[in-house]
Amino acid sequence: MEYNFKEIEENWQKFWADNKTFAANDDSTKEKYYVLDMFPYPSGAGLHVGHPLGYIASDIIARFKRHKGFNVLHPMGYDSFGLPAEQYAIQTGQHPKITTENNIAVYRKQLDKIGFSFDWDREVRTSNPDYYKWTQWIFIQIFNSWYNKNTNKAETISSLISEFEANGNANINAHCDDDVKSFTAQQWQTFSEKEKSDVLMAYRMAYLGEAYVNWCPQLGTPLANDEIKDGVSERGGYPVERKLMKQWSMRITAYAQRLLTGLDKLDWTDSLKEAQRNWIGKSEGTSLKFKVANSSFDIEVFTTRPDTIFGVSFVTLAPEHELVNSLTTPENKVNVEAYVTQAKNRSERERQADINKITGVPTGSFVEHPFTGKHIPIWIGDYVLAGYGTGAVMAVPAHDSRDYSFAKHFGLPILEVVEPTSNVTLSEVEGSYDAKEGKLINSDFLNGLDVKAAMKKAIAEIETKNLGKGKVNFRLRDAVFGRQRYWGEPIPIYYKNDIPYALSESELPLVLPEVDKYLPTEDGEPPLARATNWRYRPLSNSPQGGENTKPHNWETAGDSSYNFTKEKAQELRKNQTEAEQILWEAIRKKSLDVKFRRQHIIGSNTVDFVSLETKLVIEVDGKIHLDKKEYDAERTKELESVGFSVIRFTNEEITNDIENVISKIKLKLEEFPKVLPSGEDLGGASYPFEHSTMPGWAGSSWYFLRYMDPHNGSGFASIKLTDYWKQVDLYIGGSEHATGHLLYVRFWTKFLNDLGHIAIDEPAKKLINQGMIQGRSNFVYRMKENQNVFVSKGRANRDLTEEELNVVGLKTSEFDLIAIHVDVNIVKNDVLDQDAFRSWREEYKNAILLCEDNNEFLCSHEVEKMSKSKYNVVTPDDIAEKFGSDTLRLYEMFLGPLEQSKHWNTNGITGVHGFLKKLWRLFYQNDTFTVTHDEPTKAELKTLHKTIKKITEDIERFSFNTSVSNFMICVNELGDQKCNKRAILEPLLICLSPYAPHITEELWSLCGHTESIVFAEFPHCNETYLVEDSFTYPISFNGKMRFNMELSATLTVPEIEKEVMSSEEVQKYLEGKTPKKIIEIFKNS
């Protein structure tokens, strides 16, 4: 029987889905194993063959661990907020929600086809209100926290407030804004609410602050540093400029040191850890004050080379430095102002472009050298960054290349203070001598010391003289958290009298509202400002819901679903039950002194009766409610969470004794006195929400936790489950997230750990980067002279024949060619399918193709990124269609080491497919399935156990390409042995099943098993089968192998040596000489 992969794969995929084979168990005695994949953004282009690479690898591990008896958590979901869907929405008006849902459907279909063992019941989507409710909740925790440097932890803001109330901020050692003024407890008490808020803002971990941001006008949003590539936006390639904006930011810098030291205990790739280290950019140095001559100002600089203090020949300030104006002398005023304006407007891109262009102006002021008292000029230069260190440097041109270029350009003095110790002399050094090696010269008390000693002495001297102190600086900046965009999580903040307040937990999720357009408003406000009536209404004192006001926490905020519920409510009002009718008349007649509404919408519920003033809900439970106890309880809980109380009556109670019911209601009303709107809230005052949304990294910074408890309605994940699943044991993802996502997720994990919400402080124990798969594009050459003529690659430089010249319509063979992309799917091994080419596009229908002598048309090729526009996209679906998913899985692994980047090329795929066919054939004889119970031979056992050993080792070191080879060797050997024995083939199927799950399930069930192979125990290697009777020893002379000798494996070392030395061959190579040394090497020794 043929290997019918299509049928087999569809059947087993259905089986796994129907039986929920891969559901992880939250309550298991098995050891847990958590394998996580990179969170995909569902783009419109769907998956190409590069995407599944990591997923296949992680799936192999997940399946392997199941065979090894682990309780495996292997989830998948979508990072479904993001720019592309929004850009598409702007262009087409299509709601990003719809685009996203469609894209997800495509992804899901593609993923299912590859046979991944995901637990789909745990799927999460960051754009789901159920999910982002908790993203918002975490934001509020961060907002309500400050970083205590004494405990080296984030703590809740209430501890800070109590300290302020008791002692002011004198004893507080916090990671906060630099310019916080000190105040006493008495002063704190006198502060207005706004003042208090402003002070707290300087301490909050999530804060609203003025910051220079990388503003991208085209995208209408600021971008984080890691979203900019080469001075333009990573997405779309738009220019980026610097802009001072009020922005939500996160104090990730508080964690800089912990993020750095935490790397040491992580089993992550070195290159990735290195990238994070560089990004955090710790540098130890000294901050040092220079007194400005004839003035009371000091300039504080940061330097890593305090030893070169005597080499300072000028001081440079960043154009944004706060002292620029004060230090500029009248005669320099015009120049300085012009320079500062120009520098401020210079966009990031311009700065990138003329990186070597040196600009600057003198201020006319001078500082005094702290040791010599000499006057040193103060300059302004944009090579000094305002945001790093103190925004000012002491320039030592002889020993810093940037200072050197600046000094050379403006003719400033260069003072040499370090003499190299190596064999170069100072005069031989071109430019500056930056190395931290050498002896100090021209440096007073530092003379003769080497650089290290000089640094220590200089710092000591600086500290005794109270000029400054040792200081550590980080390159890492606080992370900008606000995006002026629509398709993201709303930031759960509203403004009352210009003071930002966070929503309370019960008011979450703050659902993304509907807008008419996905563009900024005319006033440049973010798209959310377009949402009419989207304002905060305090729940405690204003009418909620109803026909005219949409509740602010209306789920999905979709008009359609709101209208649906509203219509439903109207309908119910018209079709009241008998009991409802009786009660309605009663509560209206009996003057209860409060106004009731019937069938009124509160949140996502329609309640039977409600008094909005007293927040009392009356529910009438018909017969149907007998089976809906749980639903009712849930509903009550929900209503209570937004401040309502609920009283229930059955139909019978009402129809039998309405008086009793009314008195019960009266009693209840006394319990809950009327809350009348008062003061500024009278009439249901409302406040504007924050209009910016969260960045893409918000939702992805904690998704690994949500998978542990994806349906939890009362928390982001229960502590019981986060304690059980703990950390991700293996994460496979691309290195492109090194300085973005992977840093932020570590930050949030540490934060949640500080506050005691989770027990771990690092998200993933082990991390592997899968390499990128690049596309391979094909080109055809088109003649410029005659656009209808295409020339095969080998003909490009060859003259045309007489006949061809006629056909083409040229007089001579002189022509120019341009290469144009051609769909790789109509090219095989660079040979063009000519018919397919003609039908590919209308304009090529009558194309003239000048071919090689064998009538083939050859294309040229190039390695490029896979993209639609290059016609080089190969989708996993194409491969699965032609060869099956098992072949695709094996082939992607076979391509090379997981971490290496590679070019997509299907040249070898037939080999892999052939292997599966060979495997299939082992189970069949003359078209009938035949496996015997015969005793396996020694050779067969050796083949099997050798393979088990190799595969186990390979999987454990993530060497998937070599295991595919080993499977091939095994099947080749078993084929030679004509082996069809159950005792051999069944263990082999288990070994192979993580790699090729469908074919192995099929053969496993054909072998008579009724249980899925997924949980079959992985076979163990029995070393005794690997022992040999004899061994072929290689004999080397001077390290070079010359010949082999087969000897019995039972021989002892001296016996072997005797045998070898007495052999004729050895004598031949020795040529009568005596060997100096004889070395025997043994396996595993």
Partner RNA sequence: GCACACGUGGCGUAAUUGGUAGCCGCGCCAGACUUAGGAUCUGGUCCGCAAGGGUGGGGGUUCGAGUCCCUUCGUGUGUACCA
953 touches RNA by CB under 7 A? yes
Task: Round to whole Å and give the CA distance between 441 and 421.
Answer: 12
Task: Round to whole Å and give the CA distance between 127 and 699.
Answer: 8
915 touches RNA by CB under 7 A? yes
Least Å distance, CB 272 to RNA, is 9
305 touches RNA by CB under 7 A? yes
Q: Which stretch binds RNA (CB under 7 A): 53-61, 303-311, 599-607, 984-992?
A: 303-311
Task: Round to whole Å and give the CA distance between 775 and 787.
Answer: 27
CA angle 615, 618, 620 (to 5 degrees): 160
Instruction: Please state the three-class secondary structure of 557-608 as a single string.
Output: HCHHHHHHHHHHHHHHHHCCCHHHHHHHHHHHHCCCCCCCEEEEEECCEEEE
Task: Round to whole Å and give the CA distance between 709 and 695.
Answer: 24
Q: Which of 220, 219, 237 is nearest to 229 (CA)?
A: 237
Task: Round to whole Å and give the CA distance between 983 and 940.
Answer: 10
621 touches RNA by CB under 7 A? no
914 touches RNA by CB under 7 A? yes
Least Å distance, CB 953 to RNA, is 4
Backbone Cα Rg of the chain? 37
Continuous segment of H or E residues that includes residue 738: none
Size of the site for RNA (CB under 7 A): 82
Task: Round to whole Å and give the CA distance between 965 and 894.
Answer: 7
Cβ closer to RNA: 158 or 278? 278
Task: Decide: residue 901, CB within 10 A, 0-12 exposed, 13-18 middle, 19+ buried.
Answer: middle
Q: In the stretch 735-774, what mask flags binding to RNA with x, by CB under 7 A? A: xx-xx-----------------------------------
Please identify which residue in 201, 364, 897, 1005 interacts with RNA, judged by CB under 7 A: 897
1032 touches RNA by CB under 7 A? yes
Residue 970 · residue 1021 · CB < 8 Å: no
Q: How far apart are the first and last CA of the chain?
A: 48
At position 349, the amino acid (one-letter code) is R
Q: Which residues lie below 8 Å from residue 951, measured CB to CB, with a gap of 6+?
A: 963, 966, 967, 991
Least Å distance, CB 40 to RNA, is 18
Pure H helices in 846-981: 876-883, 885-894, 909-922, 938-956, 960-976
For residues 391-430, which are near RNA according to CB under 7 A? 391, 393-394, 400, 402
Least Å distance, CB 372 to RNA, is 19
Least Å distance, CB 348 to RNA, is 8
Cβ closer to RNA: 74 or 913? 913
Please identify which residue in 408, 757, 902, 942 interacts with RNA, judged by CB under 7 A: 902
1034 touches RNA by CB under 7 A? yes
Least Å distance, CB 392 to RNA, is 7
Which pair of structure tokens corresponds to residue 755?
């506050």
Residue 360 · residue 381 · CB < 8 Å: yes
Continuous segment of H or E residues that includes residue 376: strand 375-381
**φ/ψ of residue 406, rounded to 5:** -65, -45
Cβ closer to RNA: 282 or 1009? 282
Q: In the stretch 455-494, what mask flags binding to RNA with x, by CB under 7 A? A: ------------------x-x-------------------
Q: In the stretch 1040-1069, what mask flags binding to RNA with x, by CB under 7 A? A: xxx-x-------------------------
Least Å distance, CB 937 to RNA, is 19
What is the rounded (10 degree) CA torsion for 1053, 1059, 1060, 1062?
140
Q: Which of 953, 997, 945 is nearest to 970 (CA)?
A: 945
Task: Round to whole Å and give the CA distance between 525 and 221.
Answer: 11
190 touches RNA by CB under 7 A? no
Residue 634 · residue 695 · CB < 8 Å: no
965 touches RNA by CB under 7 A? yes
Residue 635 · residue 666 · CB < 8 Å: no
Please identify which residue in 419, 761, 830, 833 interacts with RNA, judged by CB under 7 A: 833
SS3 647: strand
Cβ closer to RNA: 383 or 689? 383
Cβ closer to RNA: 53 or 721? 53
Please identify which residue in 229, 465, 674, 798 interacts with RNA, judged by CB under 7 A: 229
Residue 286 · residue 462 · CB < 8 Å: yes
At position 319, the amino acid (one-letter code) is P
Please identify which residue in 44, 413, 713, 908 interacts with RNA, judged by CB under 7 A: 908
For residues 235-294, which are near RNA according to CB under 7 A? 270-271, 274-275, 278-279, 281, 283, 285
Q: Which residue has the tokens 């071919």?
A: 851
Q: In the stretch 316-355, what mask flags binding to RNA with x, by CB under 7 A? A: --x--------------------------------x---x
Cβ closer to RNA: 477 or 782? 477
825 touches RNA by CB under 7 A? no
Cβ closer to RNA: 61 or 968? 968
Task: Round to whole Å and give the CA distance between 435 and 220.
Answer: 44
**Helices 578-589 & 658-671, crossing angle to 10 degrees?**
60
Least Å distance, CB 316 to RNA, is 8
961 touches RNA by CB under 7 A? yes
Sign of the dihedral defined by the CA atoms of residues 448, 450, 454, 457, in that order? negative
Please identify which residue in 61, 479, 528, 968 interacts with RNA, judged by CB under 7 A: 968
Cβ closer to RNA: 645 or 905? 905
Residue 975 · residue 997 · CB < 8 Å: no
Cβ closer to RNA: 154 or 455? 455
Cβ closer to RNA: 473 or 650? 473
Least Å distance, CB 49 to RNA, is 13
Please identify which residue in 746, 950, 981, 998 interacts with RNA, judged by CB under 7 A: 950
Q: Which of 265, 138, 171 is nearest to 754 (CA)?
A: 138
Please identify which residue in 87, 169, 247, 303 interacts with RNA, judged by CB under 7 A: 303
Cβ closer to RNA: 214 or 727? 214
Cβ closer to RNA: 556 or 834? 834
861 touches RNA by CB under 7 A? no
917 touches RNA by CB under 7 A? yes
Task: Round to whole Å and give the CA distance between 583 and 607.
Answer: 14
Least Å distance, CB 895 to RNA, is 5
Cβ closer to RNA: 257 or 650? 257
361 touches RNA by CB under 7 A? no
Task: Decide: residue 246, CB within 10 A, 0-12 exposed, 13-18 middle, 19+ buried.
Answer: exposed
Least Å distance, CB 370 to RNA, is 16
Cβ closer to RNA: 738 or 768? 738
